[in-house]
Amino acid sequence: MRVIVVGAGVLGTLHAWQAVQRGHEVVHLEREEAARGASVRNFGLVWVGGRAEGPELEAALRARELWERIGQEVPALGFRACGSLTAVTTEAELAVARAAAERPDAARRGYTLLTPEEVRALNPALRGSALRGGLFCERDAALEPRPAQRALQEALRERAPGRYTFLGGREVRDLPPGATAAVRDDRGDLHEGDAVVLCTGAWLGGLVGALLPEQPVRRVRLQMMQTEPLEERLTTAVADADSFRYYPAYGGAALDALAAAQPQSPVAAEHRMQLLMVQRADGSLTIGDTHEYETPFGFDVDERPYRQLTAVAERLLGRALPPVRRRWAGVYAQCTEPGRVVLRQPVPERTSAWLVTGPGGRGMTCAPAIAERTADELGW
């Protein structure tokens, strides 16, 4: 087959990867010269532990297997099976961690409840005096989000010469109706094939909005930052207990008790915050994040969440953070239909054309499994 993939973020790139791996030819279009959206503005986390029971967890577990396999083939991804550690500092937070570790599927998720001494033995950089313990999830992993898409695309060019063509700086303007799967770009070039997959991320207006005006997808904005290198190693990804409030796996009586006894700080509540912290290959720390749902989004970033994140991170590390190197905001698309990992639907009146979008914060985690499922459903 000849597959036309539109969008070079992690979701589009993994669809191209699946198609090439199955022996097909791919023409890959991206409206920027390279991906600039949420796929490069995230933690690079493969986050299994907090996923909702059912399709979301199944997708995350399958994606974790696929990422490890792909990471072995493409070392430039920087894949590492580091696990994650959610640090707790109060008895109410510890109760949520204990309830998670007692779930029937705790072993499948890789949960282990740790004492303060075990937390420091696993991740010696966590020297905060307030630690009461932690929830370790050994199934979680990390990779390098900024170079990931380009590394995968370069691997496709090298391993499938003549079967993978990347065209950056090409915005798709039309999907001509009819019996042929095709797209026309802003240069007037027509790209024909046997299937079209639109992985356009948070770009939900324009052509995508005209083709599919009633999408059960919303846009979500986040703020993050990156420090200069930390001179010691974080052996795991790190989260604070506010992540319990955000990820569905932790729901239950213990979480309800935490919410009642220990409300979030006003800044954290206003910005729907959690601390996630991942060390990059160069030693720097990626730290976030916030969640904003009301549009139109601001064009600037707010300093108050950064101060809050800094305070929480320094409390867990027991030391000052390195200077901040950069701050940024990003926007991703999130499917709003309960139980759906991603929106995957045909484009009306277009033969073999599909829109795949809206994985939300699961995009980096689940992209390989989402692409595999698309390829299976479309019979590639």
Chain segment 98-116, per-residue pLDDT in tens? 999 999 999 999 999 999 9
- Confidence (pLDDT) at 99: 98
- Confidence (pLDDT) at 156: 98
Q: DSSP state, 37?
A: S
Q: Return the SS3 of 44.
A: coil
Q: Distances from the Cα of 269 to the Cαs of 86, 175, 304, in angstroms?
A: 19, 43, 12
- Confidence (pLDDT) at 178: 76
- Confidence (pLDDT) at 140: 98
Chain segment 224-269, per-residue pLDDT in tens? 999 999 999 999 999 999 999 999 999 999 999 999 999 999 999 9
- Confidence (pLDDT) at 257: 98
Residues of the chain with pLDDT under 70: 179
- Confidence (pLDDT) at 177: 87
Q: DSSP state, 21?
A: H
Among positive and negative, which fits the CA dihedral 249, 11, 342, 268? positive
- Confidence (pLDDT) at 180: 76
Contact criterion met (CB below 8 Å) for 18 and 10: no
DSSP code per residue over 140-196: -EE--HHHHHHHHHHHHHHHSTTTEEEEES--EEE---BSSEEEEETTS-EEEESEE
Rounded CA separation 354/343 (Å): 10
DSSP code per residue over 222-242: EEEEEESPPSS---SEEE-TH
Closest C-alpha to 324, from 294, 298, 303: 303
CATH architecture of 86-138+217-335: 2-Layer Sandwich (3.30)
Residue found under tokens 């597959």? 3
- Confidence (pLDDT) at 179: 67
CATH class held by domain 2-44+146-215+338-377? alpha beta
- Confidence (pLDDT) at 351: 82
Contact criterion met (CB below 8 Å) for 132 and 70: no
Rounded CA separation 250/9 (Å): 29
What are the extents of the domains in the chain? Answer: 2-44+146-215+338-377, 86-138+217-335
